[in-house]
Structure 1
Amino acid sequence: MAYVNNIRMFVRVYELGSMSAAARDQRTSPAVASARIAELERHLGVRLFNRTTRALHPTEHGRMFYDGARGILEAIEDAEGNVMEATQSPRGTIYVAAPLNLGRRIIAPAVVKFRDQFPEIDVRLRLSDRSVDVTAEGLDLAFHLGPLADSDLKVRMIADCPRMLVAAPSYVAARGMPEDGAALVRDRHACLNLRFPGAQEFQWTLRTDDGPRRFEISGPLESDDGDVLTDWALAGCGIVLKPRFEIATYLTTGALVPVAAQTPPYPAQLACLSPSRKHRDPKVRVFSDYMIDVCRSALREELNG
């Protein structure tokens, strides 16, 4: 297994472009990662990466070796999956990503019950509101909330999630009730922005009588955590665009109220994404089946309750 582990480390270093990132991904130290790459290079008799103090780049030999190495790992995964499917006992570790609020409120609690049914499957759950690269980050599946880009990923639709523009009554009392997206821009309303490294200029696409229209909004506060934006909105700091299931309780209590109702946002698509080859893996398939059912049930309850 040592040689396979060395290959697995090489593939993750190649895909992540960093020895330390690959080490974190494989839950080991940078020193161990470097030693595995060095051992693989000695075995092959070539240098696989050019290293500088600031960057790491694959050599021509490294690029040649990557496709074959990736194929080796996929063949092993397929073989293991076939055995697990034949024995009806999925096992192993799966790497999952989800948006923060959905992950905390729905996915994470459901993992506990999932493990009761499938104790031989370990779950590594990563929560973030940023967009993730499922393939490059070595994920088995990711729950995605928002527009879906064209890709080679297997997409399983879960639900269309209605979204709303909301603010605290105290904010509306202080700044007035904006009727539509144009008023958000014209009156320079404080819009609470979800931003993360690599995010483009911020716009809200809203529904108008003439079809979709993008409004370039702005505000003094932004965060890469959607729950922080909700907290700021509750504190009267501004207007936030949120999936309705995340704020249903606050709408019921009146802690948040709808604004700009003449130009509502479009629903966000909630989907489960996975590399096509990963979806054939029994442990990935049984996890995605379980969580999709949980998500659909939880969303129905929150939106109808």
Structure 2
Amino acid sequence: MLSTSLLKSSSRTLGATLLVSGLLLSGAASAQISTPAASPKSTVTQRVGLTDITITYSRPSAKGRAIFGDSTTKAVVPYAKRWRTGANQTTTIKFSDDVILEGKKIPAGEYGLYTIPGKTIWTVVLSKNTKQGADVAGFKAADDVARISAKPLKLANKVETFTINFSDLTPSTANVDMQWELTSAKFKITTDVDSKVMAQIDEKVIKGSNVSANDYAAAAVYYLDNDKDMKQALAWIQKANEKDPKFWNVHTEAKIRLKMKDYKGATTAAEQSKKLAVEAKNTDYAKMNDELIAQAKKAK
């Protein structure tokens, strides 16, 4: 016969096994099955100028349905009705700084991005309400921050899944482009770049002490690219080139002198830049300097 102690040990082992099995079964029963979302969530971020813009939205697919249309077409997105600009939750757009939206100033922050599609015109609505979703009855006009118009365009190729992206980028602007099926509608965002860069130049270059060659060069390039004071730009790039001239900075000096119609000085600087570029085995800058020298000779 089994001893009493052995029976007790076996009982404890069996009880522990049953407890672990029960916990595993309980966990398995409560765990949810994960499946792909019909309209997956997407986030797209773009730096425009010095401002970060983030759009978060869900992406439905056409699946053979009519997407935009009037009441007779049984469209997914009916004309003249507010749309959450995607599926599931409201699409949101977030600005790290103040921006200009088609001429209207928008403070930094996060907004609901709603649209009212139409056959010939869309209305884009920025709202303080980021949670309304598809509940049209819950909208309040007081929550609207701005309304702008966007002209819809017909696409040459079908876009199966609703897409929002940034296009036509410049140093201070970008278009937000909304595309689905054969329709595209876009609106322009303008960011404030000049005042921010000028504030940095004032702090680090004009009022700064122990200014680095890189800061002098950056200030000179900004003045050159934005048609500001060329005499000041030349003074800064010369300071950048005083101690350790780099071929790209000397090329900037050549460009500034060319813009100032100092063709002799532009040629001299370009020749120096080319020599440094050849020593560094940079054929691109060598070619760029040849082109600049040719421009200077032609302009004389």
Normalising by structure 1, what TM-score?
A: 0.21
Structure holding more helix per residue: 1
Higher RCO (Cα < 8 Å, 6 or more apart): 1
Structure holding more strand per residue: 2
Normalising by structure 2, what TM-score?
A: 0.22
